[in-house]
């Protein structure tokens, strides 16, 4: 990062983040509050002009899971879809960041694809989780979802001046996620022509930061990709896999782990292993949720809002 980029970056992230609770929803904004629009942007009912980008991230639906942690993951995912469809705005696209299915069976892929075709949006994107590539190196996943992708299913796209990169880090994993040389080369070519002030959003299933390597919550070669993105002033990395909200800022990159629509996992280190957690009855929905992201070119906030399933 250049000195100028650092100064600009500090301008975005160097201030304290203020979390405020209003009406049961936590809204956060920079403490310096450069404009009141920050708060408005976090409101899902805000109406924006056509230059406003709004998209939704959903994750870890685990269609096919059956266990006490959630005896109806299909119902939970259906409610998540309903919630997306009643946000009060139509998202430009919806990204599912993996573990669409629990065991990669053709029936599970068919079911999740049919359910997602009911999302009221222009386009539905996916990246695979390790549960989507059980035993077949992702072949069944790619048969359903890899149209228009490269390599083992990675791709990029642009909208509203933002460059999006969707990565696959669950196919050659051992204990940790893995991207591989081919995919890193793809990112190198993909961003080569982009000006450094292009906002970058990277999607992956497994975190690209070392959230908790002891449980495999990291990607062993992600630094090579992050180095390719160092020259960009704004990089946001959105992942699933860990079934809980988690945010970290490292250099020019802000990482946001999303929660799940299926079942919670323990916080890092607070259980012997990352196994499905059974919550008391009626509390499950508070651990599940969807995420909306809004970006307005003119007023400049990139707002990430997580809300529980209703």
Q: State the virtual CA torsion across 110, 111, 114, 119 in degrees, nearest 10.
A: -130
Q: Backbone dihedral region of 207: left (phi > 0), alpha (psi from -120 to 50 degrees) or beta? A: beta
Task: Identify which of residues 63 and 119 has a Cβ nearer to other proteins in the complex.
Answer: 119
Shortest CB 75 distance to other proteins, Å: 19
116 binding other proteins? (CB under 8 A): yes
213 binding other proteins? (CB under 8 A): yes
Shortest CB 3 distance to other proteins, Å: 16
Among 1, 6, 13, 87, binds other proteins (CB under 8 A): 13
Residues 70-89 that bind other proteins (CB under 8 A): none
Q: How far apart are CA 251 and CA 17, in angstroms?
A: 16
Q: How far apart are CA 227 and CA 74, in angstroms?
A: 39
Q: How far apart are CA 55 and CA 48, in angstroms?
A: 13
Shortest CB 10 distance to other proteins, Å: 9
Distance spanning both ends of the chain, measured CA to CA: 41
276 binding other proteins? (CB under 8 A): yes
DSSP state of 31: T
241 binding other proteins? (CB under 8 A): no
Q: How far apart are CA 207 and CA 177, in angstroms?
A: 8
135 binding other proteins? (CB under 8 A): yes
167 binding other proteins? (CB under 8 A): no
What does the per-residue mask of binding to other proteins show for 140-159, with x meaning CB under 8 A?
A: -----xxxxxx----xxxxx
Among 254, 260, 261, 277, binds other proteins (CB under 8 A): 254
113 binding other proteins? (CB under 8 A): yes
Residues 34-73 that bind other proteins (CB under 8 A): 34, 38-39, 41-42, 50-51, 53, 65-68
Please state, in angstroms and as integers, the Cα–Cα distance from residue 173 to each residue in 59, 91, 231, 237, following that order. Answer: 19, 32, 28, 19
Among 239, 257, 260, 261, binds other proteins (CB under 8 A): 257
> How big is the site for other proteins, counted in residues (CB under 8 A)?
138
90 binding other proteins? (CB under 8 A): yes
DSSP string, 117-148: TT--SSEEEE---GGGSTTTTTHHHHHHH-TT
């Amino acid at each position: 990062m250049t000195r100028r980029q650092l100064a600009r970056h500090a301008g975005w992230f160097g201030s304290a983040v203020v979390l405020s609770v209003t009406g049961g929803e936590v809204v956060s904004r920079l403490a310096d509050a450069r404009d009141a629009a920050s708060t408005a942007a976090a409101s899902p009912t805000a109406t924006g002009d056509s230059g406003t980008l709004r998209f939704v991230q959903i994750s870890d639906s685990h269609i096919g899971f059956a266990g006490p942690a959630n005896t109806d993951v299909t119902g939970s995912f259906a409610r998540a879809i309903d919630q997306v469809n009643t946000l009060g705005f139509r998202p430009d696209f919806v990204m599912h960041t993996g573990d669409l299915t629990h065991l990669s069976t053709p029936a599970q892929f068919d079911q999740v694809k049919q359910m997602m075709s009911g999302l009221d949006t222009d386009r539905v994107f996916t990246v695979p989780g390790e549960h989507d590539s059980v035993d077949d190196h992702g072949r069944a996943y790619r048969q359903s979802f890899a149209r228009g992708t490269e390599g083992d299913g990675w791709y990029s796209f642009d909208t509203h001046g933002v460059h999006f990169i969707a990565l696959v880090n669950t196919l050659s994993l051992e204990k940790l996620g893995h991207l591989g040389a081919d995919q890193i080369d793809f990112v190198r070519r993909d961003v080569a022509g982009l000006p450094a002030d292009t906002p970058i959003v990277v999607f992956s299933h497994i975190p690209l930061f070392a959230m908790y390597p002891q449980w495999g919550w990291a990607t062993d070669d992600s630094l090579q990709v992050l180095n390719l993105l160092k020259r960009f002033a704004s990089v946001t990395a959105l992942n699933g896999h860990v079934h809980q909200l988690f945010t970290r800022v490292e250099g020019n990159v802000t990482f946001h782990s999303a929660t799940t629509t299926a079942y919670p996992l323990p916080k890092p280190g607070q259980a012997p292993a990352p196994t499905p957690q059974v919550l008391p009855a009626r509390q499950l929905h508070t651990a599940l949720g969807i995420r909306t992201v809004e970006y307005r070119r003119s007023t400049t906030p990139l707002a990430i809002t997580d809300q529980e399933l209703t």
